[in-house]
Amino acid sequence: MRYLAIAKREALSIVRDPRSLFLVVFLPVMLLIVYGYGVTFDIRHVPVAFYDQSRSAQSRDLIDRYLSSGYFLLRESANSRESLDRLLIGDKIILGIVIPPDFADHIIAKNGGEIQVLVNGSDANTANVAMGYQAAVFADYTGDIFKPPSNLKIPSVDLRIRTWYNPELKSSHFIVPGIIVIIMMLLGAILTSSAIVREKETGSIEQIVASPIKPWEYILGKMTPYIVISLSDVMLVVAAAYFVFNVPIRGNLLYLGFFTVLFLANALGIGLFVSTVSRTVSSSQMFAVLISLLPSILLSGFIFPIESMPRPIQAITYFVPARYFLVILRGIFLKGVGVDVLWPQALFLTANAAFFLTMAALKFKKKLD
């Protein structure tokens, strides 16, 4: 069992370095907690300023509705258009709302009226969300003001929206799985990225190459201990997601374990491939970070939907393992689905793992230069 000899040796080296081992085991949980709290798509406390020219009971009622919605935070009051402009330019506020002098009259007369909303579009995403909140608050307000008399029945379509899987639309419920994917991809690739190139640096590769070991025995042997480490990492991280972020786990944990091994084979395979083509540990680690981190964030569908990418970029995403694991984690955590639904992801992960590991074994062609 030449494969076992490699695996055992690698495991011994890992155990002999307890400080790194400790770091490797607990770093992902620490990262998840930091980023899980830090990263959110929910936008709260949008800074806002009002230029209230009306100064009436009606305008104060409107302002109060904005502020009591919980989405807006009064940053400063403006007493002129110029001061509102200054706040927008200085990025002090996202929304500037101007209530004209005749606002109260129009409301009392029940004949409409208007307000002006200035949006700081320099952060288009936040502006968009803030606009949405604003529109909802305002619609609510006008609905109450211009409520038709209760005896008057207006026929209308009854719209009943139900959000499945994440009824409160908590962004943490889909961000936390995304962060787990990114952290594990990064960690997996880094873990193995130095595994082979380190042997080149110390020279022990000479003896390996002079021995009758086969490339696949060497590659799989190298990978095995890291599968064990990263699998325990995933267990810790999933526990943190459940207990710290209250992300529900509705699916089967055994399926999760099965999919995780497939995914880790990808992450570790990429690291091993990087390790076979690199000449120094530092360059291989840099390469591993680049090749694992950015695609997992940008091309996995975590932030930007794959459907809206141009076709050639979409084609690249087929080689991004994070893409599949993201669907798997969200599916198991939020939807409670299993292999019956997620088998295409499992298939793609298997194909990609085979691809990366074969590339590594081919590059490690047992001749140095």
Nearest CB to another protein, comparing residues 83 and 224: 224
Minimum separation from the CB atom of position 13 to another protein (A):
5
Nearest CB to another protein, comparing residues 112 and 212: 212
Minimum separation from the CB atom of position 280 to another protein (A):
16
Minimum separation from the CB atom of position 12 to another protein (A):
6
Taking the CB of residue 94, how many other CB atoms lie within 10 A of it?
Answer: 29
Minimum separation from the CB atom of position 125 to another protein (A):
49
Nearest CB to another protein, comparing residues 141 and 216: 216
Minimum separation from the CB atom of position 223 to another protein (A):
16
Q: Which residues form the interface with another protein (CB under 8 A)?
A: 1-2, 4-6, 8-9, 12-13, 16-17, 202-213, 366-369
Nearest CB to another protein, comparing residues 72 and 364: 364
State how far the Cα of 302 lies from the Cα of 140, in Å rounded to an integer.
32
Q: Which residue matches tokens 């008057």?
A: 152
State how far the Cα of 76 lies from the Cα of 69, in Å rounded to an integer.
17
State how far the Cα of 348 lies from the Cα of 263, in Å rounded to an integer.
10
State how far the Cα of 17 lies from the Cα of 304, in Å rounded to an integer.
39
| Angle at the Cα of 215 from the Cα atoms of 209 and 216, rounded to 5 degrees | 155
State how far the Cα of 42 lies from the Cα of 126, in Å rounded to an integer.
9
Nearest CB to another protein, comparing residues 8 and 60: 8
| Angle at the Cα of 9 from the Cα atoms of 20 and 214, rounded to 5 degrees | 125
Contact 13, 192 (CB under 8 A): no
